[in-house]
Copies of this chain bind each other. A is one copy, B any other.
Amino acid sequence: MPQDFADLHVERWRDHWIEVDFDDDVEAMTVRIGALHRYFKASTQRALAEVGLLESEYETLHHLMIRDTPGKASPGDLASDLGVSGAGMTGRLDVLEKRGLVKRTPGTDDRRRVDIEATRAGVAIWRKAMALRGDAEDDLATALSSAELKTLNKLLKKLTLHAESRLDG
């Protein structure tokens, strides 16, 4: 099997920086996960360019759609889901509302709140982006057999469970 970027990285690393000692396999894994993440990000961005969305717009719309209550949320919930500040979310929603992709409605029972809802146009453009994104991911996954993909998920899950326990506990 030919070398990938991670192999080259580890090799170069070992040549130049022996005194900073890392486990080669751990380092390679980290680099590969980073590389795959960047690849997904890049294909998402191509999809977004095609449908005419900025990454910040898509991200907001996306989190709005994948909630327990799809298409509906409060600015604060979205902000914490996305890891942006409340101020940032106000700005993002201003843009999305101006483009007609979401609608703000003042809350009725609690008038401090604002309800955000994706409009028909917002849902449509999000779906188009999702379909394109999915195509790219499926394409990448063809590199693995179905059994390999299951094995990979099993191993990744061991890591994510470990990570989650570190974050919670």
Residues of A participating in the B interface, judged by any CB pair closer than 8 Å: 1-2, 4-7, 9, 12-13, 16-17, 20, 22-23, 25-30, 32-37, 39-40, 42, 65-66, 68, 70, 127, 130-131, 134, 137-144, 146, 148-153, 155-164, 166-167
State in angstroms the CA–CA spacing of A37 and B30 once bound together: 8
Expressed in whole angstroms, the minimum distance between the Cβ of A143 and any Cβ of chain B is: 4
Are B152 and A6 within 8 A (Cβ)? no
Which secondary structure characterizes the binding site on chain A? helix
Are B28 and A153 within 8 A (Cβ)? yes
Hey, which chain B residues are within 8 Å of A158, CB to CB?
143-144, 148
Expressed in whole angstroms, the minimum distance between the Cβ of A16 and any Cβ of chain B is: 5
Are A30 and B160 within 8 A (Cβ)? no
Expressed in whole angstroms, the minimum distance between the Cβ of A34 and any Cβ of chain B is: 6
Are A157 and B32 within 8 A (Cβ)? yes
- Ranked nearest first, the 7 interchain pairs of A and B with the lowest CB-CB distance are A143-B162, A37-B37, A32-B156, A39-B163, A152-B155, A26-B141, A4-B160
